Each structure stands twice: as structure tokens, then as C-alpha cells.
């Protein structure tokens, strides 16, 4: 009751300096202040004095009903609590959820329908919880592996294209101008510009600079989940970018190198071995300047 009394005095700007200082120290003060500020922004219709007077004089006089002061402040406190609950519900259900994996890290989480997602390094996903079962769509920047629960259409949108499924397991990677999709279970529909492709288990497709690459896979899930990076017909710049993300290092190349495309696997748990594979393939020499900076030079 004492707290409600202080709340009422605060709402009416009747607190002394000492009482105000004590109230501001309350752990819930910030929440009350937000609600008060939000309420102050609410607008009501313009007051028409003439119309109100006309209505009053046209009616019979009735006895004035007095509402006790304690009921008045109880109504105000109740209104504030209702408003707080409404704001909380709106924020929790209508706001955009964001999941992120930093360089050298991964993030695993579940969507509202218990679909499983694993985000690869330097990747981000955004989605909304509200009405998720009927509108299962999200936006991906980077790479992620999905294990989708059965249900209505499930869409993954990227800046390069869109992937649509019902219930399946698949991997999507959208980095710079390359778009890779691999199906491990069920079927996947891929939309890239004016093309539409259906993938079945073991099939993979990639698009780079508008060119389509049809690929095959012989694994049951992405290699990066088992600490390996698998590349199919990738150029050196893309490979080095991925190594930088996975190991959280900076790599420079200070030499001429061939445009040969690389197909193979590089470990995610041994940087020295990864660098040696690149050096051997492209005839370069890796030099560690610091623990997090490597420079490739010509042999």
C-alpha cells in the first residue's frame, strides 16, 4: 500500500526532494518512468466546450457522484499496470528477433516451432515470433544450417536469393556474390533471379556472378559442423575470407597468384595446417606477423 501511495504522489508531482530521491533508487523506477513517458504521448480528441455545455443544459440535473480519492489513484495504478503489460506483450511478440555469430564462433538456437538453426561464423538471422506457425520466414546474412520442423512453408531470404521448404535439412550460404545451397533431407526449392531449382538429398547448387554451378555432396550434414570447411570450385579470395571468419585472423597476399579454383577441405581446428594447404596449392609462403595477422608472399 505504501508503494502505491508513493506512486500516486509521484504521478501527481507531489513528492518532496527526499521522497523523490528515495523513489528513484527503486529498482522498478526506470520501468515506471518509461510507462509515464509513453502515457504522456497519448492524444485525445480536441475538447469542444460549446458542445459539452449544450449537452449539460439539455439534461436534467442529477446528484453529483463523489469518487473517493483512494479509488482515483487505484484506477491510475491499474491503468499503468495494464499499459505495462500491453507494452511488454507487444515487444515480446512483434519486435524482430536477431541471432548473431561473431568471427571464430557459432550460434545454435531454436525457432518458435522448434526448428533448429546453427549459424556459422560472421552470420546473422532476423525473424519475428508473431504468428510464426503461419508465416515461417526469416532473413539470413552469411551461412546457416537448418533442421526444419514439419509444418507450413518455411522461407530463408538472402540478398542473393530465396530458399523454400516444408520440413527438411539444408545449408544456405550467401557471401558477397556467391550463393550456395545444399539439401541433406527432404527437398528444397531455390529461387535465384529468374531461375527456380528443386534440390533433393545429396544435391547442391551454387551461383556466382550469375553463373550456375551444379555440385554433388557425399555427407549427411555440412562439414563445418565437424570442424572442416568444404570448398567446391572456389577462388582464393573467397577461401581466405572464410579462413579469416573462422579463425578470427587477418590475411594479406603480397604476391601474384593463379586464378585456379580450389575444391577440397580445410580444417577449422588447426590454422597452421589450413595455411599450409593454401600455400601448397597456390605456391605461396605464409608468414605470421603476429598471432592474428598472416601475410602470404611468393616463393
- If one compares 215 and 140, the residue with the highest pLDDT of the two is 140
Q: What is the pLDDT of residue 160?
A: 96
DSSP 249-268: -EEEEES----PPEEEEEES
Q: Are 216 and 225 in contact (CB under 8 A)?
A: no
Cell numbers linked to 199: 534440390
**C-alpha cell, 123:** 552470420
Per the model's pLDDT, the better-predicted residue between 150 and 33 turns out to be 150
pLDDT for 23 beyond 80: no
The answer to whether 163 and 181 have CB atoms below 8 angstroms apart is yes
Mean per-residue pLDDT for 87-95? 57
pLDDT score at 18: 79
Q: What is the pLDDT of residue 15?
A: 76
CA atoms of 231 and 35, how far apart (whole Å): 53
| Burial track 47-82 (b if 16+ CB lie within 10 A, e otherwise) | eeeeeeeeeeeeeeeeeeeeeeeeeebeebbeebee
What is the per-residue pLDDT across 178-193, written as a single tens digit (0 to 9) for each? 999 999 999 999 999 9
In this predicted structure, the answer to whether residue 35 has a pLDDT above a threshold of 80 is: no
CB 14 within 8 A of CB 6: no
pLDDT at 197: 95
pLDDT band, very low/low/confident/very high, at 30 (cuts 50, 70, 90): confident
Q: Which three cell numbers stand for residue 171?
A: 545449408
What is the overall mean pLDDT for the chain? 84
The pLDDT tens digits for 109-120 are 999 999 999 999
Task: Check whether 36 has a pLDDT greater than 80.
Answer: no
| Mean pLDDT, residues 201-214 taken together | 92
DSSP letters for 176-202: TTEEEEEEEES-EEEEETTEEEEE-TT
Say if residue 59's pLDDT is above 60: no
Distance between CA atoms of 175 and 123, rounded to whole angstroms?
9
Least confident window among 14-23, 108-117, 122-131, 219-228: 14-23
Identify each DSSP E strand in the chain by its residue range.
96-101, 107-110, 116-119, 123-128, 136-147, 154-157, 162-165, 169-175, 178-185, 188-192, 195-199, 203-208, 211-216, 228-234, 250-254, 262-267, 284-290, 293-298
Asked if pLDDT for residue 84 goes beyond 60, the answer is: no
**DSSP assigned state of 19:** H
**Reported confidence tier of residue 14, pLDDT bands at 50, 70, 90:** confident
Q: What is the pLDDT of residue 33?
A: 73
pLDDT of residue 168: 94
Is the model's pLDDT at 7 over the cut of 80? no
Select the more confidently predicted residue: 288 or 74.
288
Instruction: With a cut of 80, say whether residue 104 has pLDDT above it.
Output: yes
Question: Does residue 287 contact residue 295 with C-beta atoms inside 8 Å?
Answer: yes
CA–CA distance from 261 to each of 233, 236, 279 (Å)?
A: 5, 7, 14
Burial class (CB in 10 A: 0-12, 13-18, 19+), 28: exposed
Q: Average the pLDDT over each of 7-11, 144-148, 281-285, 287-291 and give the range with the smallest value.
A: 7-11
Tell me what pLDDT residue 55 has: 60
Q: What is the pLDDT of residue 20?
A: 78
Which tens digit of pLDDT belongs to each residue from 239-250?
999 999 999 999
Amino acid at each position: 500500500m505504501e508503494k502505491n501511495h508513493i506512486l500516486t504522489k509521484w504521478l501527481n508531482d507531489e513528492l518532496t526532494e527526499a521522497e523523490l530521491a528515495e523513489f528513484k533508487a527503486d529498482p522498478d523506477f526506470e520501468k515506471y518512468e518509461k510507462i509515464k513517458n509513453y502515457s504522456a504521448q497519448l492524444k485525445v480528441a480536441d475538447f469542444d466546450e460549446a458542445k459539452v455545455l449544450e449537452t449539460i443544459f439539455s439534461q436534467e440535473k442529477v446528484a453529483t457522484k463523489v469518487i473517493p480519492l483512494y479509488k482515483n489513484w487505484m484506477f491510475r495504478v491499474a491503468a499503468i499496470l495494464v499499459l505495462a503489460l500491453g507494452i511488454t506483450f507487444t515487444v515480446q511478440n512483434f519486435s524482430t528477433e536477431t541471432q548473431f555469430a561473431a568471427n571464430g564462433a557459432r550460434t545454435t538456437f531454436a525457432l518458435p516451432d522448434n526448428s533448429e538453426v546453427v549459424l556459422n561464423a560472421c552470420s546473422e538471422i532476423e525473424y519475428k515470433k508473431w504468428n510464426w506457425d503461419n508465416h515461417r520466414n526469416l532473413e539470413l546474412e552469411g551461412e546457416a544450417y537448418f533442421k526444419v520442423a514439419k509444418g507450413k512453408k518455411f522461407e530463408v531470404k538472402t540478398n542473393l536469393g530465396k530458399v523454400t521448404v516444408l520440413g527438411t535439412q539444408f545449408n544456405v550460404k550467401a557471401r558477397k556474390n556467391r550463393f550456395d545451397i545444399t539439401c541433406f533431407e527432404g527437398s528444397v526449392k531455390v529461387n535465384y533471379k529468374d531461375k527456380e531449382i528443386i534440390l533433393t538429398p545429396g544435391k547442391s547448387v551454387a551461383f556466382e556472378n550469375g553463373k550456375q554451378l551444379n555440385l554433388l555432396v557425399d555427407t549427411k550434414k555440412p562439414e563445418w559442423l565437424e570442424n572442416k570447411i568444404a570448398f567446391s570450385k572456389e577462388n582464393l579470395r573467397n577461401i581466405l575470407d572464410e579462413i579469416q571468419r573462422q579463425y578470427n585472423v587477418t590475411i594479406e597476399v603480397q604476391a601474384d597468384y593463379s586464378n585456379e579454383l580450389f575444391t577440397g577441405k580445410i580444417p577449422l581446428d588447426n590454422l597452421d595446417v589450413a595455411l599450409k594447404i593454401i600455400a601448397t596449392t597456390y605456391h605461396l609462403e605464409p608468414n605470421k606477423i603476429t598471432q592474428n595477422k598472416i601475410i602470404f608472399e611468393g616463393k
